[in-house]
């Protein structure tokens, strides 16, 4: 038996679904977000490379200090020369190369927040006829590492000589 077909239903067509919404083209907000992410990533990479390049002399000095033979007769002189070479990497040779004795000690202390009196005392021992004990050499190495980590890289204000620091007038 056949069902009678309603003539209104016979003229109807199937429902057509709309076209699926695609991923492309992206909305403007996504393009702006993508641009900001790329810009931030680029700036971070440039900053990291520059920071790494600036601290290269500091890392090299720390490695050289770690490789020093602690039983060497010239251990104190070698530590002092490593500190001086590292300092000359961040400021002009004329500022640092000529410093010795108390001027060198004052300059070293001017570069860090807390004065390294023990480092200066141990560095002054290089002029003594007796060599340092193993404990003193270990302490010298430790203080030199702390100075390298704390003072380097030098900021523009910190790279001044002892005379420039003494002549500087502080504002009231």
Residue 88 located in a structural domain: yes
Q: What's the CA gap between 107 and 63, in Å, rounded?
A: 23
Residue 165 located in a structural domain: no
**What domain range includes position 65?**
56-160
Write out pLDDT tens, residues 30-46. Answer: 999 999 999 999 999 99
Write out pLDDT tens, residues 38-80. Answer: 999 999 999 999 999 988 999 999 999 999 998 888 888 899 8
Residue 104 contacts residue 150 (beta carbons within 8 Å): no
Residue 73 located in a structural domain: yes
Number of domains in the chain: 1
- Looking at the chain, the whole-number percentage of residues with pLDDT higher than 70 is 88
Q: What is the mean pLDDT of residues 141-170?
A: 67
Q: Is the whole model's pTM more than 0.85, yes or no?
A: no
């Amino acid at each position: 038996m056949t069902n009678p077909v309603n003539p209104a239903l016979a003229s109807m067509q199937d429902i057509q679904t709309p076209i699926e919404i695609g991923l492309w083209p992206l909305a403007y907000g996504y393009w702006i977000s993508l641009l900001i992410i790329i810009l931030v990533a680029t700036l971070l990479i440039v900053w990291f490379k520059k920071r790494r390049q600036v601290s290269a002399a500091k890392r090299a000095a720390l490695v050289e200090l770690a490789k020093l033979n602690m039983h060497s007769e010239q251990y104190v002189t070698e530590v002092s020369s490593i500190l001086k070479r590292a300092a000359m990497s961040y400021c002009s040779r004329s500022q640092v190369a000529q410093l010795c004795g108390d001027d060198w000690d004052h300059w070293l202390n001017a570069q860090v927040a807390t004065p390294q009196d023990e480092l200066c005392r141990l560095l002054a021992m290089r002029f003594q006829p007796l060599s340092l004990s193993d404990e003193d050499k270990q302490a010298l190495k430790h203080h030199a590492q702390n100075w390298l980590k704390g003072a380097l890289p030098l900021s523009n204000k910190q790279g001044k000589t002892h005379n420039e620091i003494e002549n500087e007038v502080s504002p009231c």
